[in-house]
Amino acid sequence: MKITEEVASFAKPVVEENGCTLWDVEYVREGGQWYLRLYIDKEGGVDISDCETISRAVDPLLDEKDPIPTSYTFEVCSAGLERELRLPEHFAAFLGSAVRVRLYSPRAGARELVGTLASYDDGAVTLELNGQTVRLEKNEVAQVRLHVDF
């Protein structure tokens, strides 16, 4: 089992007991330091006290279960308005929403496309874009995020 899956399995119930949902778990190396991040969400939005409460509740479980043998920084964050969609359930929840898709290689001169999420099929993303339907295969898509016009 991957570290992120293991952490999600014991963090999810704690997050839900505190009135939030677990959006994602990330374990990444940035600037020579490892970070374990829980991304949380709730109806009406997450605030700093939600992050603090969940951090304090999950931290002892991390010490007890010790899923990561090396040093890391633990953070609890809001999933954010322009959150990344990574899991099938993320895509299912936001069908019909505006998304920004970053591509590995340019398509028609563009590395990013903004359109409406029409479907998701095992990594392939279909967008409604300027009145056209565009299917992007899994190997073309670097990242998908919700898009909000400010």
Q: Fill in the DSSP letter of residue 85.
A: P
Phi, psi for residue 121 in degrees, rounded to 5: -140, 95
Q: Residue range 91-118: average pLDDT?
A: 95
Q: Are residues 67 and 15 in the same domain?
A: yes
CA angle centred on 80, ends 75 and 81, rounded to 5°: 175
Q: Residue range 93-104: average pLDDT?
A: 96
Q: Residue range 5-19: average pLDDT?
A: 97
- Write down the pLDDT at residue 1: 77
Residue 128's identity, in one-letter code, is E
Q: If pLDDT is split at 50, 70 and 90, which confidence band does 17 have?
A: very high
Q: Are residues 104 and 57 in the same domain?
A: no
How many CA within 13 A on the CB side of residue 95?
8
CATH code of residue 115: 2.30.30.100
Closest C-alpha among 71, 117, 70, 72 to residue 91: 117
Domain of 70, in residue numbers: 3-78
CATH code of residue 10: 3.30.300.70
Q: If pLDDT is split at 50, 70 and 90, which confidence band does 103 have?
A: very high
Taking only the tens place, the pLDDT of each residue in 81-90 is: 999 999 999 9
